[in-house]
A and B are shown apart, each in its own frame.
Chain A
Amino acid sequence: MRRTLALLSAVALLAGCTADEPTVRDDTHKAAAGTLRVLAGSELADLEPILEDLTKATGVRVTLDYTGTLDGVEQVTSGTAGKDHQAVWFSSNRYLELQSGASGRIGTQTKVMSSPVVLGLKQSVAKSLGWDAKRPSWQEIADAAAAKRFSYGMTNPAASNSGFSALVALATALSGKGTALTAEQVGPVTPKLRQFFDAQALTSGSSGWLADTFTQKGGVDGLVNYESVLLSLNAGGKLPEPLTLVYPADGVVTADYPLTLLSGADAEVKDRYQAVVDYLRRPETQKTLMERTSRRPVAPGVALAERFGGGTLFELPFPVKLDTANALIDAYNNVARRPSNTIYVLDLSGSMNEDNRLAGLKTALLGLTGADTSLSGRFSGFHQREQVTLLPFSSAPRAPSTFTVPPDAPGPVLDQIKGAVNGFQANGSTAIYDAMREAYRIARAQQEADPGRVTTIVLLTDGEVTAGANLKSFTDQYQKLPAATKAVPVFPVLFGESAVEEMKALAALTGGRTFDGRTGTLSAVFKEIRGYQ
């Protein structure tokens, strides 16, 4: 609706101009008027107000349809992005350009703004480490992390560009080579990566959720995130303690937000694209972008505001080969990160027999055992060292089964998971909260067995609670859990006729978030959740 209004006012503006000087104004706007449909990274949502101004000034309406990092890459390389969109706009094209299928799919790209991925630490913590006064190297940061002198949250590198950028910067700096990282260098540097990730206490599939969770719950000393996100957090005034931005002395990897035309654009689309990038790169727009979104201007001639880190910020080389990038992500998932306890609470009540729901659930879970060979499937499968618990329920919790994926030869265990999933049968009623109580019991036991693990719970149910405890009584019991167990988030999947408000309340209570499985496939949702596990 807001967009429609913006368009109307642009039309009104045009009409007004036409009355004064018909020839001039009419032509100018007709040239570019129309819509540029853009497939975009979700972190660009903060640009919407600026894009409304753009429509008023140029007549071009820019619509952003949001997608995740790997999804976006897949859509471009497979060609599906081009069906509904004329351009893509992600935080970076570097990983995309490593894909063999990308070169024929993308055309002109224009960088619009930039933001380095850096570490933001609570002022007091940064001060105690001396990093408020002197920039540490990545090695010093990794050493302090290994000594547990600070904890932090970071997005999953397979799911989000900010996490991947940090991983690349860290690995490149720690390799000590001074050139772009190669696949052979990933193995030797992995033990050092592990030191750094020892201190990671919060993970997420998106930079925005990570920032929101940090604001609401705290729980960690800081975040690895875009400079723009960290500066915005400071400016938001909701943090109990401001963050000190720590710029690693040996360099960063910077998001550069290239607005990228997809191949095959005709002359009209090219005109619209050009009008859009010209507007975005005008000095006054660059200044607005800097002031409102805390991203750095890229067009020369716009001075950087003081709140951005002064001094020279070195850009580290980005790998040139896809196998290097993929080896890094695999090293993170299988070796360097803290292993996870992943608990699935799965509704197998009778209603799951409707509409192929059970089949959809099975496909989604089997996809995580290696059946999904797509790009996103490759990284979202169960990782080495991961402990996966399946807790089906209907009228009551059924017997849970727990599997630990071994570092070597994970095949047989993945086959066991497949077997368990294939054996699911749906019948009975829906005792959601009895199952949730059981899930937290399991979580607590698993935490006690190995406190170093990251524990999360996914809840999939297609209906309202019809048996056992209700949300209220579950909440009362949840509140009595030890703090570490209470910190285990629940990620409810909205599905079928599930009680949306209750699911949202459950997510809010536990510090999780809901995912919508009603419109897309459960497979897509389960893959998205992998970024949070």
Chain B
Amino acid sequence: MRRALSVLLAVVLIGGVVTAVLLGRDSDEAPGATTVHGVIGSEKLPFFADPDVVVAFAKHGLTVKVDPLGSREMAARDPKTYDFAFPSSAPTAERIERQLGTGRHYTPFSSPMAVATFAPVAELLASRKLAAKDPAGHWTLDMKAYLAAARDGLRWGDIPNSAAVALPSRHVLVTTTAPRASNSAAMYAAVAGYLANNDRVLGDEAQAKAVLDRVGPLFRDQGYLETSSGYPFESYLSQGMGYSPMVWIYEAQYVGAKVKPEMALMYPSPTILSQHTVVPRTDGGDKVGNLLVNDPELRKLAARHGFRTPDTGAALPALTQTVPPPSYDVLEALLDALQH
């Protein structure tokens, strides 16, 4: 077994095509291992591609192969093609559970949505009472105040003392992905929808349509939107402020990355939790969910990738205000309306 593992690892290392190993090849299985296929949200691809994660699953006789998909694609996928689905949000998990006629799921880890920014930008926002820093040094973005500023067309140049910071002549807007294609943007729409609905979770399609005028411009005014959450964060890391002063991300992306000293993370208040939920279809899929929840090593690895697990404790700031997402159907109605 150990030899098989080392061969597997050698294949991974020498090939340098880590993900290819995971994306559907039969030849790399450790002898005697069971292959389990999963469809996952793309932000979890680095986790499943991590050689340590591969080894951790292999110890339990599992070879896990994953296909990264957007939430809508995932819901549309023929369930027979996978052993488990691992979407990034409760609404998508709910929809897949309904599809499979199962009530079974695992929630091994979560990640709140956050805003990647820069310390001077956070300070400027604080001068307008849009952001605040707590005594522990954690930033929060006041979403209600931010949405009001966005609605009024506040531009960076309108903020006093903004000239000291190199900022674009654009509106003060958080950069997101496309809501139809990407879960992180759907979560942004859910928070904005909650606030626009007088601090109530959107309850039905009529309420979703009613907030469209408030939520739509937050996306439309940004211009072209990327379809996957990987690129905006990568651009933030490599291009800095030039790409965008504020980028909507998963907390895990930031925690797991090498950030520069001037970079800062703001927690929206309220924020929303991205609940990474395993919905198993087969016994193999169930084993994956079970291991992710209960295996100490996999839990540790998840934490290393920035996800919040039951072990996280005080390592990451406590979240004071989170809102629940609407149901799948209501969220879909909002996202559909946003696309038009």
Interface residues of A (CB under 8 A from B): 23-25, 27-32, 57-58, 94, 97, 108-109, 111, 173, 178-181, 250-251, 267, 270-271, 274-275, 278-279, 282, 297-301, 311-320
**B198, CB-defined interface residue at 8 Å:** no
How far in angstroms is the closest Cβ of chain A from B159? 13
Partner-contacting stretch, out of B105-113, B134-142, B236-244, B300-308: B236-244
Interface residues of B (CB under 8 A from A): 7, 10-11, 14-21, 23-25, 27-28, 68, 153, 155, 166, 168-171, 173, 220-225, 227-228, 231, 234-235, 237-244, 257-258
Say yes or no: B231 contacts A274, CB within 8 Å.
no
Partner of A25, one of B14, B234, B240: B14
Known A25-B14, A278-B19, A314-B242; judge A31-B171 contact (CB<8 A).
Answer: no
Question: Within 8 Å CB of A301, what residues of B?
Answer: 258
Q: Considering the chains assembled together, what is the distance between the CA atoms of A311 and B231 in angstroms? A: 21
- Residue of A31, A181, A318 touching B20 (CB-CB under 8 A): A31
A251 to B168, Cβ gap below 8 A?
Answer: yes
Complex CA distance for A28 and B14, rounded to whole angstroms: 8
Contact of A319 among B14, B153, B223, B227 (CB under 8 A): B223
What residues of chain B lie closer than 8 Å to A31, measured between beta carbons? 15, 17, 20-21, 25, 27-28
Q: Assuming the A-B contacts A23-B7, A24-B7, A32-B20, are A314 and B168 also in contact, with contact meaning beta carbons closer than 8 angstroms in the complex?
A: yes
Q: Is the CB–CB distance between A300 and B234 below 8 Å?
A: yes
Given the interface contacts A58-B17, A312-B241, does A250 sit within 8 Å of B224 by beta carbon? Answer: no
Known: A300-B238, A301-B258. A278 touches B20 (CB 8 A): yes
Query: Smallest Cβ distance from B117 to chain A, in angstroms?
Result: 14
A278-B153 Cα distance, complex, nearest whole Å? 41
Determine the distance from Cα of A74 to Cα of B316 in the docked complex, in whole angstroms: 49
B237 proximity list for chain A (CB < 8 A):
300
CB distance A317 to B224 under 8 Å? yes
Q: Which of B20, B171, B228 contacts A274 (CB 8 A)?
A: B20
State the Cβ distance, B226 to closest chain A Cβ, in Å.
9
Q: When the two chains form their complex, are residues A320 and B224 in contact, meaning their CB atoms are under 8 A apart?
A: yes
Interchain nearest-CB distance for B31 vs A (Å):
11
Q: How many angstroms between the C-alpha atoms of A180 and B222 in the bound complex?
A: 6
Tell me, in angstroms, the Cα distance from A458 to B258 when the chains sit together. Answer: 56
User: Are A297 and B166 neighbours in the complex by a CB distance under 8 Å?
Assistant: no
Residues of A within 8 A of B220 (CB): 179-180, 320
Q: Please indicate the chain A residues that have their CB under 8 angstroms from the CB of B223 in the complex.
A: 179-181, 316-320
Give the docked Cα–Cα distance between A31 and B23 (Å): 10
Q: Which residues of A contact B27 (CB under 8 A)?
A: 27, 30-31
| Least CB distance, A210 to chain B, in whole angstroms | 25
The answer on a CB contact under 8 Å between A297 and B238 is: yes
Nearest neighbor of A116 in chain B, beta-carbon distance: B242
* Contact indicator B18/A278 (Cβ below 8 Å): yes
CB-CB < 8 A to B235: which residues of A? 298
Q: A30-B27, A179-B171, A271-B23 are in contact. Are A320 and B225 (CB under 8 A)?
A: yes
Chain A residues lying within 8 Å of B171, measured Cβ to Cβ, are 178-179
